[in-house]
Amino acid sequence: MVLAVVASFLRYFIIKLGSHYLNSQEPDQEAFCHRRHAATHKARFHQLHHCPLLLHSRRLRHRGLDDAVLVFGKDLGETVGRFYPAGGIVAKMGRIDARMEELSMSFAQSLEIRDFKTGGHSRDVLQLGSIIAEGLDMPLDHKLKDSLLLHDIGKIGIPDRILLKESPLDDEEWRIMKNHPEIGYNLLKNFDSYKEVSRIILAHQEHYNGTGYPKGLKGNNIPLIARIIGVADAYHAMTNDRPYRKALSTKTAIAELLKYNGKQFDPQIVEGFINGLIKHELITGMELAAAKALLLA
């Protein structure tokens, strides 16, 4: 019962406190949240609801400016780390599989409440990534599942004006969007049960040829699960509608994976993914042939 309450609290904490702190750069608002942090630390978590947010039309709106300086993850992660140090209740949760799954799903659903236009993306990436892992004979353990499910959790710190924009992002907006792996890392790294997951999330936008971000890692220096996320995430994004474009066809998406094979994507992962899609009858041999023909056209 206690663990269920903690899981619910953490979800509430991320939505309420996190979104406000991230999405406001007005000095008075920032000072307010620092005071609220201090009060919360002193009185535990019963005062968290005082951070001023309104829930409306399935998205969070804050009272203040919408031009975030995205440094919240580190601050929030350290704050939660103080509430639940190693050996405390969060460490105990790591030994209870059902509660860990509930907590991970709560994290993911917190993001979906904000980014409602791509709802279900994280769970679909979990399924697609599991297909890849199956082909590589990898165990479907908590590290794999949580990394797939929570890969975009850092987007909870991206301002609505960027996250929900209905046209392509400009250069400055992309610069801000590219902070999301680091926000996700900072958010989770202070939880003992999510330390490895946080490092994978930090690397999930790295490219196989070293042109990704945030560190420009290359090849096998990118964690294997991060490379899996890269393929599953890209395929799902391409084959689903976005506010600024319609979904690509299956053959076009497969052709894109093949085009950037060895560049953005690990060739082993791409091959395993395509074989898995065929095995699970998510694509046909004819669609694969059409993708290869499109690539050669």
- Confidence bin at 120 (pLDDT 50/70/90): confident
Decide which of 53 and 82 is more confident.
82
Whether residue 248 lies inside any domain: the answer is yes
**58-62, 111-115, 194-198, 206-210: least confident range:** 58-62
- Confidence bin at 38 (pLDDT 50/70/90): very low
Whether residue 26 lies inside any domain: the answer is no
The residues near 61 (Cβ < 8 Å, ≥ 6 apart) are 53, 54, 55, 160
CB 120 within 8 A of CB 108: no
DSSP 112-177: HHHSGGGTTHHHHHHHHHHHHHHHTT----HHHHHHHHTTTGGGGGS-HHHHT-SS---HHHHHHH
Is the pLDDT score of 182 beyond 50? yes
The residues near 229 (Cβ < 8 Å, ≥ 6 apart) are 125, 129, 147, 148, 151, 200, 204
Whether residue 287 lies inside any domain: the answer is yes
- Confidence bin at 238 (pLDDT 50/70/90): very high
Mean pLDDT throughout 53-78? 35
Domain that holds residue 261: 118-151+203-297
Using CA atoms, how far residue 131 sits from 94, 100, 232, 264, in Å, is 25, 22, 9, 20
Residue 119, CB-side half-sphere exposure with 13 Å CA sphere: 9
Tell me the pLDDT of the chain averaged across its residues: 74
Decide which of 62 and 118 is more confident.
118
CB 2 within 8 A of CB 52: no
Q: Quickly list H helices, 158-223.
A: 160-163, 171-177, 180-188, 195-202
Question: What is the domain count for the chain?
Answer: 1
- State pTM to two decimals: 0.69
Mean pLDDT throughout 174-194? 94
Spell out where the chain has E strands.
53-56, 59-62
Mean pLDDT throughout 164-179? 94
Closest CA to 69 of 150, 153, 162: 162
Mean pLDDT throughout 137-143? 91
Is the pLDDT score of 200 beyond 90? yes
Q: What pLDDT score does 123 carry?
A: 87
Residues in the chain: 297
Q: What pLDDT score does 164 carry?
A: 86
b (16+ CB within 10 A) / e for 211-224: ebeeeebeeeebbb
Is the pLDDT score of 213 beyond 50? yes
Is the pLDDT score of 2 beyond 50? no
Q: What pLDDT score does 49 carry?
A: 31
- Confidence bin at 107 (pLDDT 50/70/90): low
Question: CA-CA distance, 221 to 99, in Å (whole number)?
Answer: 32
Whether residue 233 lies inside any domain: the answer is yes
Q: What pLDDT score does 191 carry?
A: 86
CATH number of the domain bearing residue 139? 1.10.3210.10
**132-136, 199-203, 255-259: least confident range:** 132-136
Mean pLDDT throughout 22-30? 41
Q: What pLDDT score does 166 carry?
A: 87
Whether residue 270 lies inside any domain: the answer is yes
For the chain, count helices (H), then strands (E): 16, 2
Whether residue 229 lies inside any domain: the answer is yes
Whether residue 258 lies inside any domain: the answer is yes
Question: CA-CA distance, 104 to 148, in Å (whole number)?
Answer: 10
Using CA atoms, how far residue 231 sits from 43, 132, 274, in Å, is 44, 9, 10
Whether residue 53 lies inside any domain: the answer is no
Mean pLDDT throughout 241-246? 82
Q: What pLDDT score does 74 carry?
A: 46
